[in-house]
Homo-oligomer: A and B are copies of this chain.
């Protein structure tokens, strides 16, 4: 699979019965959006939701493409940034969709990164108790993770992503040309999620990334291959466990620690973005697994070496500015949603590509570990 990379467009199918859908991955897909949508959906009215960063570059080409295929579209441009994932912005998005008279065969289109995708997907999921929805992800993170699988939502004062629904898209168009305009830091952050798929259960893919990451960063066929493998990996997990009753939780590898660090840095993206939190979190998950005698410390070192090589932060000390003490990080972990009856659920690992869901991890062990890694 990985030995022969192809330069052309790739298609990944997410198998969910009558809610199955395609993810198209390749260059020029925004310009081809109208054609791809019109060939799959009967509706000819769309509402496109995007943000101020994405709109100047991609909104007009997308609207023009829709127009060429006879699709009548309205657009709404929101402020960029995590704060947009709020009721404050959800309400006008719902109003815009209803105002555009989107009916059952029409669709809502998210053009942007994870914030726009999560917010717009949530709006599509609740307008008329569920409207058709198309993802046009414009960040690597969104292309390999958030645009696939139907998790949508907004943040609450009580925590991130605490309000939302499962609502699958009808189509995902991952235009790989847009990745050329990402900052290196943003590309790296998305790459953390690519590496994650190798660490969950694809040790060969992780090895391939160790050897080919420069080509993935450079663009072209290797990048498309890495995105396609990532989407395929996520599609398989989602098809097996759409609503996270079991193995889907594996996708949270690195995320429990990562979310706690995001909360500890008050979601200040100048200090830490999601993918960076996941990178540090994955190293911590491997180190904690080694500490619990589940995995070899060599694996943790290998994970850290690779993420460091691509330029990702790998330790809590890599985060600039003051971090709260281990006890406060522990509180953030306890407030995270992956808690059942007071016990902590963690994704741990027996080695690279051998992660598993542990739902009875003692909080005292985690706290002891955090104190070691982050002495005050």
Chain A contacts to B: CB under 8 angstroms: 42, 87, 90-91, 94-95, 98-99, 103-105, 122, 125-130, 151, 153, 156-159, 162-166, 243, 337, 339-342
Query: By the criterion CB–CB under 8 Å, are A340 and B105 in contact?
Result: yes
Task: Specify how many copies of this chain sit in the oligomer.
Answer: 2
Query: By the criterion CB–CB under 8 Å, are B341 and A105 in contact?
Result: yes
Query: By the criterion CB–CB under 8 Å, are B165 and A98 in contact?
Result: no
Query: By the criterion CB–CB under 8 Å, are A130 and B341 in contact?
Result: no
Point out the residues of chain B lying under 8 angstroms from A164, CB to CB: 126, 129
Closest B residue to A105 by beta carbon equals B341
- Asked whether A163 and B127 contact (CB < 8 A) given A95-B157, A156-B95, A158-B99, the answer is yes
Point out the residues of chain B lying under 8 angstroms from A243, CB to CB: 129-130
Point out the residues of chain B lying under 8 angstroms from A342, CB to CB: 103
Closest B residue to A334 by beta carbon equals B101
Contact of A104 among B91, B129, B340 (CB under 8 A): B340
CA distance A344 to B254 in the complex (A): 51
The 10 closest A-B pairs by CB, nearest first: A98-B158, A129-B164, A126-B163, A87-B91, A128-B337, A94-B163, A104-B340, A98-B156, A165-B165, A129-B165
Sample of 14 further A-B pairs with CB below 8 A, known A99-B158, A129-B164: A94-B163, A103-B340, A103-B341, A104-B340, A104-B341, A125-B165, A126-B163, A127-B163, A128-B337, A129-B151, A129-B165, A129-B243, A130-B243, A165-B165
